[in-house]
Amino acid sequence: MHNTAAIVFRDGITRFVKVDNDELLMDAARRHGVNLPVDCREGVCATCRCLRESGEVEVEYIDEEALTEEEIAKGHVLACQTRLRSTHASFYFDVDSSICSVATELHDGIVSAVEPVSDGAAILEITLDDPARALPYLPGQYARIEVPGTNEWRAYSFATAAVREGKLRFLIRLLPSGVMSDYLRDRARVGDAISLEGPLGAFYLREVQRPLLMVAGGTGLSAFLGMLEELVEKGECTQPIRLCYGVTQEQDLSELDRLAAFAEALPDFVFEPIVMNASAAWQGKRGVVCDLFDRDFLSQPFDAYLCGPPPMIEASRQWLEEREVGEHRLFFEKFVSS
């Protein structure tokens, strides 16, 4: 019997390792070629410290010199003293993967669909050549995809909770001109060979223990589609979730039916779109995502996840910094261009 641990590094590289019931996290990682930083192996030096971000664990010993009570209360553990007690858990190590001899993984596949979902975005579906070869990731993370026929790579957030029948989906904005945008609009054909690298990124859904604010700008929605799908599948989330979804024009709105289905399936999930340059016919809200922030909702402790163009993330961060809102953790993914 074994459980699975996601090991996330500061540079966003993630490795999934199988951990036997009586095995220490440190040993399981080494068995999978991930050499976590360790020194004393006795719970004293804290070289192997990490943050448990989800899952249940049993920790054998923590010396008072290693971690403070406050750090332990926040979820810090020692990999040399930790065993898993749930089927899945994730741990964040504040070191770069390169010092743990971890290489990124390349996967090959074919384009199996390109589906327009709005005037300015499409879903790219990739079917992996080897469906038996695992590509685990945490919803919210991303892959780098090589644009077929070029040597250019672009980053895209996974738009589903996991690989399904060997298929991956990505929600991609089509710019008027751009290497991936031009490929998807003009040249993409079902059957094109395509390569990707992943999983990458430290933007992923942590254990949901308090209300969630999700803020999506344009195709930043992609990461939330994966996160929400996971919450529906697990069926355990009772916390309220508010998704503020901002786009430039109403024609950019994507996947509203999918969001409506999440709202049906989750006990307290509300999403609202807002359009910056709306036409006269638009009946909904006009403005930017911050105009949707509900001060009552944000007066309680919460976790905030922001994903999309850098100006939207900066504006949202500034809004939260300048207002009297509840204590919160903030995670974000900026769609910076390559």
Ligand X SMILES: Cc1cc2nc3c(=O)[nH]c(=O)nc-3n(C[C@H](O)[C@H](O)[C@H](O)COP(=O)(O)OP(=O)(O)OC[C@H]3O[C@@H](n4cnc5c(N)ncnc54)[C@H](O)[C@@H]3O)c2cc1C
Q: Using CB under 6 A as the criterion, which residues of the chain lie in contact with ligand X when the complex forms?
A: 142, 154-157, 170-173, 175, 177-181, 201, 219, 222, 309, 333, 335-338
> Nearer Cβ to ligand FES, position 81 or 127?
81
Q: Which does 154 bind (CB under 5 to 8 A by kind): ligand X, ligand FES, none?
A: ligand X
Using CA atoms, how far apart are residues 193 and 146, in angstroms rounded to an integer? 10
Q: What is the 3-state secondary structure (H, E, C) of the chain?
A: CEEEEEEEECCCCEEEEEEECCCCHHHHHHHCCCCCCCCCCCCCCCCCEEEEEECCEEECCCCCCCCCHHHHHHCEEEHHHEEECCCEEEEEECCCHHHHCCCCCEEEEEEEEEEEEECCEEEEEEEECCCCCCCCCCCCCEEEEECCCCCCEEEEEECCCCCECCEEEEEEECCCCCHHHHHHHHHCCCCCEEEEEEEECCCCCCCCCCCEEEEEEHHHHHHHHHHHHHHHHHCCCCCCEEEEEEECCHHHCCCHHHHHHHHHHCCCEEEEEEECCCCCCCCCEECCHHHHCCCCHHHCCEEEEEEECHHHHHHHHHHHHHCCCCCEEEEEEECCCC
Q: Which does 171 bind (CB under 5 to 8 A by kind): ligand FES, ligand X, none?
A: ligand X
Q: Which does 109 bind (CB under 5 to 8 A by kind): ligand X, ligand FES, none?
A: none
CB of 48 to ligand X, least distance (A): 28
Say whether residue 39 binds ligand FES (CB under 6 A).
yes
> Nearer Cβ to ligand X, position 9 or 156?
156
With CA atoms as reference, report the closest residue to 224 among 166, 313, 163, 139.
139
CB of 72 to ligand FES, least distance (A): 13
Say whether residue 99 binds ligand FES (CB under 6 A).
no
Q: Which does 204 bind (CB under 5 to 8 A by kind): ligand X, ligand FES, none?
A: none
Say whether residue 34 binds ligand FES (CB under 6 A).
no
Q: Which does 230 bind (CB under 5 to 8 A by kind): ligand FES, ligand X, none?
A: none
> Nearer Cβ to ligand X, position 84 or 168?
168
Say whether residue 80 binds ligand FES (CB under 6 A).
yes
> Nearer Cβ to ligand FES, position 80 or 111?
80
Say whether residue 78 binds ligand FES (CB under 6 A).
yes
> Nearer Cβ to ligand FES, position 38 or 95?
38
17, 50, 66, 122: which one binds ligand FES (CB under 6 A):
66
Say whether residue 43 binds ligand FES (CB under 6 A).
yes
Q: Which does 72 bind (CB under 5 to 8 A by kind): ligand FES, ligand X, none?
A: none
